[in-house]
Structure 1
Amino acid sequence: MPLTSLPSPVSGASALGMTLTALVMVLTPGPNMIYLVSRSISQGRAAGLVSLAGTGVGFVVYMLMGNLGLAVVFVAVPWLFIGFKAAGVLYLAHLAWQALRPGGRGMFEVRDIPRDGPARLFRMGLVTNLLNPKAAIMYLTLIPQFIDPHRGHPTAQGLTLGSVQIAVSLTVNALIVVAAGAIAGFLGRRPSWASVQRRITGTLLGAVTLLLAREVPARARA
């Protein structure tokens, strides 16, 4: 007797929309990308991948909390959600300034960072993602927009869409981790290109800061 596949809790359009949204978010520089690139360059690909595992767990934490009650907390205490987003936006603004200021460094420029063991690398990847405003807004503001109440099971839809986001993010970031060393070497031999990369990174960070700043006053939805 042939096995029949279980129907997906989300529509194809929602899955595609979530994939494209996650792709745009992960390709825009932010705390996760900057941390992963810096670790990959300073300690090698293995360290970058261990750090990436930590960020992956951070996404899972957000996904579970976003679907199992964190939104309710932020609805009940709206200033908490607004304050969290404001702090994240300020952090992104700081990263943008660090890239654009005179004498600033780009993401792929080699810098001295203390070597950390696997446990600390994993932990720092996790903490960096938990404090990432893009992750918070993704799970508490963007993903709910792809949930179709007419299909029922909003929790199942949220978990499915969150899994799509995590798969896209981990895949893209893994490719960045693997290529970080080669990109750093390429830019190191071409100082003018490194300067252009720094300005592009800073400009993108600044643009994301402005876009997320518009979301700061918005309250969480139950």
Structure 2
Amino acid sequence: MLEPTQIIAYVTALGLAAAIPGPGMTALVARSVSGGAITGFTMLAGLILGDLIYLSFAVFGLALVAHHFSFLFTMISWGASLYLLWLSWQFVTFNPEAIEINKKINRSELVTTLLSGFTITLGNPKTIAFYLAILPLVITLDTVSLQIWGLLLVPLTITVLIAVGSIFILGALRVRKFLANQNAQLLLFRSAGIIMFAAAISMILKSI
């Protein structure tokens, strides 16, 4: 069983890591501005799913498995990096348009948004560093059982990320009218694209 101090340390460290602007939160703000709350929370779900994958990697020692199946994990890393590059291009070449507050979002757009959030997390060096480097310093992973993972760490992770992500989404929704300005949209999306490009290049360099 985890000590209360370990739980508090994990929640604090995860909250701070999530709040530090990176590819995930930058994309979350951009999508929330352009698509509204539903789009924002859909992307947040994808981001959280990616976090849970890395949490599982850390808890169940899949980092050791990655050492023995390095080719497979290298291909996954390259795939995530290439998708990040594509997303970066989409954000940089984004064509600003008037924001429709009551615009209906179709199912295919939501699926694409969910996949984008998931892939951004998979290719986010900050997320990788947290779960595979910082997490073992915060929690004694040898003491984490399947029950602790499923009944404690997963719910805690989801709760913390929803709390932090909601702040970014609600903040983006409050400034939607201001960001309806084309120049403001260009700045936001190009900044997100540049951050994603930097994350993708970082992943590629680590894979070489």
TM-score if structure 1 supplies the norm length?
Answer: 0.62
Checking the alignment, whether the CA contact within 8 Å between 1:49 and 1:177 is kept in structure 2 is: yes
**Partner residue of 1:144 out of 129, 132, 135:** 132
| Structure 1 position 84, deviation (Å) | 0.9
| Structure 1 position 196, deviation (Å) | 2.6
**Partner residue of 1:169 out of 161, 164, 168:** 161
Unaligned runs of 5+ in 2: none
1:134 aligns with 2:128: no
**Structure-1 residue corresponding to 2:106:** 116
The one-letter amino acid paired with 1:205 is M
CA distance in 1, matches of 2:141, 2:62: 20
Unaligned runs of 5+ in 1: 1-5, 218-222
1:85 aligns with 2:81: no
Count of aligned pairs? 199
**Partner residue of 1:38 out of 4, 28, 31:** 31
Distance change >3 Å, CA 162–CA 73, structure 1 → 2:
same
Checking the alignment, whether the CA contact within 8 Å between 1:93 and 1:209 is kept in structure 2 is: yes
TM-score if structure 2 supplies the norm length?
Answer: 0.65
CA distance in 1, matches of 2:143, 2:104: 44
**Partner residue of 1:153 out of 122, 127, 142:** 142
The structure richer in helix per residue is: 2
Secondary structure of the equivalent of 1:115? coil
CA distance in 2, matches of 1:152, 1:138: 17
Larger radius of gyration: 1
Q: Taking every aligned residue pair, what percent have the same amino acid on both sides? A: 19
| Structure 1 position 143, deviation (Å) | 1.9
CA distance in 2, matches of 1:70, 1:115: 37
| Structure 1 position 79, deviation (Å) | 0.8
Checking the alignment, whether the CA contact within 8 Å between 2:45 and 2:117 is kept in structure 1 is: no
CA distance in 1, matches of 2:138, 2:171: 41
